[in-house]
A and B are shown apart, each in its own frame.
Chain A
């Protein structure tokens, strides 16, 4: 019963969120100096004003914003998100085809930052105050404050240009047919963007894990286990990891939003054909339907990340299991 109730309320909240995001992005685009007509025909178009007016009328641009919004919302509900001017394809299709590239990138960066950050944080906590701990802390702070695009350019310069170990960009070799591209080609092209994107989260998760584990190591139950003869290794494996994993995983799921923001920069630097480079292109070309479409899609994606974290927490933590689901 609790489960149904929880999922029901989550679904309701998601609907409200999507509605709010739609309204907000529509208002922002409508209020911006972007003129869909100019964006479509080009600034130096030779079309006569009469012809332009005809197009505007056909699109319904002369109608009040509320009517336009309702028309757009109605179409969206029927699955028609409009046509992207940039790619000359339906918005849904653009998002769908590019989403898989971005998803691969986000998941790779997510796992990479999660695993590396978690392990680094644990060792830093165990050897708190050591040279290793201090170096890691400094390294994390530098990573935290380094802009993604700058780090991406640095990676490109060093590993692609100077050393030539990795390709300069794209998601597959330029000289191969789509059908010939292997999974290794894709992973090879994914490596640098994924590492670049992972620096967004790695410092945060490492510092958090370190702090949390230090807290646990000072807790009464840790001391008691020590007083009962458990070695440091047993203490960390039996009590440390058990108690630090949940909050760390939760934090990692919550970082979906940052990753989604990060792909806009990372994909642009590496010319990686995902949603991030699409949103940059959409913004530069005043491609309103695509912009709004991606905004809604990312809201759903981030919401799903947080939702999974909450559900996971309540499934794994026995203290929450008994009390039912909590958000």
Chain B
């Protein structure tokens, strides 16, 4: 699906690098680089799933698109929405309007405000709120509850309602399915699918690749703060040989329904990154060339950040 859809991307992220200022011991100020030269694009009508293990910087990507990173974050690279550079001013205009965000947990709801009022936000109406709540199986009394009174699944549905309420063009969803039972999770993703089929774009951040594969058009594989591979979802379904990056292949191998086989080593820590390819120390195909900068390159209809991939 992805390859037939070209034209102007809804969201373009190019060379995104995020680092945090931190004080080490004493007065030593260290720059902790958590996202490095990240490129992704989301086209209208598609779901791009960003998958990767925890700690790979997926949430930060979502937060940086919305412009809600903490003050000590340094951001470089470009981000464009419909071809226009996302400045703070443009973001202010788009937030809650064209770009919607579905956060990770119930902690993102104000603990002292009833969820109905929160779902409505400053831009929605009671009518919209009731309609969307109904669509997500939340009964009328839910609106009068406080966040701490919600069950995990209800909280998740309230969060999703907040995004749908405003009829956006781009949804950035950060782990929207944990806490939902399988039916509800599938239904949520189906809503995303419908939304995309109507021309919207979805940036779906998840670690649940099985669910993502069912609905996503393309998959971006995240490792240690950058994308190592971007490919069509069907490449994952076809198996290891259709994939490009050694990490994507290992990721697939480690899934329960496959060999459930983990690879040795751990993801490098942001403060202590190796030169060149970030995956090199765990990679079976490592050579001299991996110590150099490895750029993203096109390969077989996808993109890969590996010197050896064929």
Contacts and interface: CB of A to CB of B under 8 A. Distances in A.
A275 to B, nearest CB: 38
Contacts of A246: 112
Contacts of B36: none
A243 B112 contact: yes
B68 A319 contact: no
Contacts of A228: 95-96, 100-101, 121-123, 162, 166
Contacts of B146: 318-319
B95 A229 contact: yes
Interface stretch (A50-58, A78-86, A218-226, A294-302): A218-226
A242 B121 CA distance: 15
Interface string A239-282: 10011001000000000000000000000000000000000000
Interface in B77-128: 92, 95-97, 100-101, 103, 105, 107-113, 118, 121-123
A319 B148 contact: yes
B264 interface: no
Given A229-B95, A229-B96, A229-B122, A224 B149 contact: no
B170 interface: no
Given A230-B122, A318-B146, A224 B101 contact: yes
Contacts of A243: 110-112
A242 to B, nearest CB: 5
A90 B63 CA distance: 69
A232 B85 CA distance: 22
A318 B110 CA distance: 12
B121 A221 contact: no
A227 B168 CA distance: 13
Interface in B245-274: none
Contacts of B306: none
A227 B68 contact: yes
Given A220-B108, A243-B112, A227 B123 contact: no
A62 interface: no
A246 B162 CA distance: 27
B228 interface: no
Interface of B is mostly: loop
B284 interface: no
B110 A221 contact: yes
Contact of A319 (B95, B103, B111, B123): B111
A322 interface: yes
Given A221-B110, A243-B112, A230 B68 contact: no
A124 B307 CA distance: 52
A243 B111 CA distance: 8
Contact of A220 (B92, B97, B103, B148): B103
A221 B63 contact: no
B66 interface: yes
Contacts of A227: 66-68, 95-96, 101, 103
B108 A223 contact: yes
Interface of A: 218-221, 223-231, 234, 238-239, 242-243, 246, 317-319, 322
- Top 8 nearest A-B pairs by Cβ distance? A229-B96, A224-B108, A229-B95, A228-B96, A227-B101, A223-B68, A227-B66, A221-B110
29 contacts: A219-B107, A220-B103, A220-B105, A221-B107, A221-B108, A221-B109, A221-B111, A223-B68, A225-B118, A228-B95, A228-B96, A228-B100, A228-B101, A228-B122, A228-B162, A228-B166, A229-B95, A229-B96, A229-B121, A229-B122, A229-B123, A231-B92, A239-B113, A242-B112, A243-B112, A318-B146, A319-B146, A319-B148, A322-B149
